Structure 1
Amino acid sequence: MQNMRGMQLGQYTLDRLIGKGAMGEVYLGNQEALQRQVAIKLMKFVSDEAFRRFQQEVAITATLDHPHIIKIFDYGIENNIPYVVMQYLTGGTLSERIFYARTNGLPLMSAGEAAQLVEKLASAIDYAHQQGVIHRDIKPGNVMFDIHGFPYLVDFGIARLNVGGQELTLAGMTVGTPYYMAPEMWGPGELTKHVDQYAMAVMVYEMLTGRHPYEVDEGKEPNLNLMYKHLNELPPPIET
């Protein structure tokens, strides 16, 4: 994507790029009418069908109302660019906190601290599952904090929803992060809420140890090696 700084999207003005990923870029934006800062994700889509599914999914995930799920304020399309307007969080990600502690020789999260955080995040995941929403990409990078350290799950439900028995998935989208993917995500089988529970367990392991339960050489077909490990091996005990 080209630099969108200064562009006007409806009532929102893009300020500066603050993140990017497989599905698009995230800008800090200003909502002039309410005089507040927001996070605006500009989405990448290749077809009208993909955008139709995006509209359906965002409309439903925007109804999720839980204290630990990021708020979606608005969405739309402007100049052929689909966008989502979200709550702006300034406390960084859980992934950044783990990395900072590990690389600076600082203590990792204690079991008690991890339990408190997991209780909050698990309540958000359970609530979403009750609404028919499966995240499918639970990981430290998708846990963000506000300035007070209050945690939120982000990018929630964009991957798959089950609404009225109909599953909606963005065509052509890579779903999941291999280090956190449950065994059933590596094949063609039906996915359930258990993939989020598995990913949460992997994330807890990382919170307590500073490493993934399964590590591979990134230069030698890492996804195939990770798939084998998730399907066939037990992770090293946490105490080691």
Structure 2
Amino acid sequence: MSALAAGCSIHRYLIEQVLGSGAFGIVYLAQHKSLGYQVVIKEYLPQALAARVNGEVMPLNATVTEVYQQSLQRFALECETLLTLNHDNIVYVYDCFYASGTAYMVMHFETGSTLWQSYVGQVQQQQRPFNWQQLAKVLPGVFAGLHYMHQRQIVHRDIKPGNIFLRAGAVVHPLLIDFGAVKQAGGYASQYAQNTPAYSALEQEYGIYPIGPWTDVHALGVMIIELLTMQRPDTAYQRQQAVTAGLDDPISQQLRYLATLTDAGVVHALYGATRLDPAQRIQSIYDFKAALPAFA
């Protein structure tokens, strides 16, 4: 993907470097031109719909123009919604603006690393996954941030270790980041909605069930299983295919293995959090937290 170059001016900011990119956009480190502070800027640039041409982001062709414009408006509305959030476990969004044919989200710059980076570092150095005591220090802040969002009818829809940032410092302080996928609760999935298939719930794959807090519960449950076992569960689609074929849900085998590593109460809660049918799943972050053993 063609990223903006270092030194490029966009709105009130100067681009310093690319921090990352994905199927739905590019994330930059930038500096406010007049005030000098650093920010993180997310540029909406979905690869399936648009490309940069002579400095302007444009739909790939006429057939996707309407979809791109609708997706762009949705991104901007989501950004405006995030401007209203103020919580200690959610990265602060400063600004949203349109430029060069697309939209941009401006967030507070944090120092630290993602939960995924911390996990990979431990696996590489110690050849072992996280244990429950380690995760129990991170989860309260994640629960708090998600509960705050859900109370405001906002669903993150892309919870994963790479979207939980651990602020640098002596105390574990998680922040929910990367809100390109937030959605008002009660809506249905779009084929162009951002998500990560490994953690996505069935309602995000098929779009036949409404999106809600239970959608983030599923992703969080899958994430915890992976970080405790070093095994990423099959996608919800793959699991559904197995069940349709008359087989056990593949995640059951991982939960049985997890039962040999940690408290049975943790395993029982994760079973409830990762049910394929959203109606059978734990419905809220509050209930998920209550189902887990007391945090260390």
TM-score range, shorter chain: 0.7 to 0.9
Give, in angstroms, the shift of residue 229 of structure 1. Answer: 5.5
Give, in angstroms, the shift of residue 160 of structure 1. Answer: 1.3
Question: 4+ residue stretches of structure 1 with deviation over 6 A?
Answer: none
1:225 aligns with 2:238: yes
- Give me the whole-angstrom Cα distance separating, in 2, the residues matched to 1:174 and 1:104: 36
Q: Which amino acid aligns with 1:186?
A: E
1:23 maps to what in 2?
Answer: 24
5+ residue gaps, structure 2, are: 47-58, 60-67, 262-296
Give, in angstroms, the shift of residue 44 of structure 1. Answer: 1.4
- Give me the whole-angstrom Cα distance separating, in 1, the residues matched to 2:145 and 2:22: 23
1:141 aligns with 2:162: yes
5+ residue gaps, structure 1, are: 216-221
Give, in angstroms, the shift of residue 110 of structure 1. Answer: 3.1
Give, in angstroms, the shift of residue 119 of structure 1. Answer: 0.9
Match of 1:152 among 151, 175, 180: 175
- Give me the whole-angstrom Cα distance separating, in 1, the residues matched to 2:30 and 2:188: 29
What TM-score do you get using the length of structure 2 for normalisation? 0.69
Q: Which amino acid aligns with 1:207?
A: L
- Give me the whole-angstrom Cα distance separating, in 2, the residues matched to 1:183 and 1:223: 5
- Give me the whole-angstrom Cα distance separating, in 1, the residues matched to 2:14 and 2:45: 19
RMSD of aligned C-alpha atoms? Answer: 2.5
8 Å CA contact 2:205, 2:236 repeated in 1: no
Q: Which amino acid aligns with 2:24?
A: M
1:184 aligns with 2:203: yes
1:161 maps to what in 2?
Answer: 184
Q: Which amino acid aligns with 2:164?
A: V
The count of corresponding residues between Structure 1 and Structure 2 is 229
SS at match of 1:26: strand
1:209 maps to what in 2?
Answer: 229
What TM-score do you get using the length of structure 1 for normalisation? 0.84
1:112 aligns with 2:113: no
Summarize deviations over 1:4-28 as a string: whole Å, max 9, x none. Answer: 1211111100011110011111111
SS at match of 2:112: coil
Give, in angstroms, the shift of residue 79 of structure 1. Answer: 2.4
1:122 aligns with 2:143: yes
- Give me the whole-angstrom Cα distance separating, in 1, the residues matched to 2:2 and 2:227: 36
Instruction: Pick closer, same or farther for the CA change 1:229–1:89 going to 2, 3 Å.
Output: farther
- Give me the whole-angstrom Cα distance separating, in 2, the residues matched to 1:37 and 1:54: 23
- Give me the whole-angstrom Cα distance separating, in 2, the residues matched to 1:90 and 1:50: 30
Instruction: Pick closer, same or farther for the CA change 1:137–1:183 going to 2, 3 Å.
Output: same
Give, in angstroms, the shift of residue 83 of structure 1. Answer: 1.1
- Give me the whole-angstrom Cα distance separating, in 1, the residues matched to 2:34 and 2:142: 32
SS at match of 1:104: helix
Summarize deviations over 1:104-154 as a string: whole Å, max 9, x none. Answer: 335533322211211110111111000000111111011112222521111
Question: Highest relative contact order (Cα 8 Å, sep 6+), 1 or 2?
Answer: 1
Q: Which has the higher helix share?
A: 2
Instruction: Pick closer, same or farther for the CA change 1:80–1:185 going to 2, 3 Å.
Output: closer
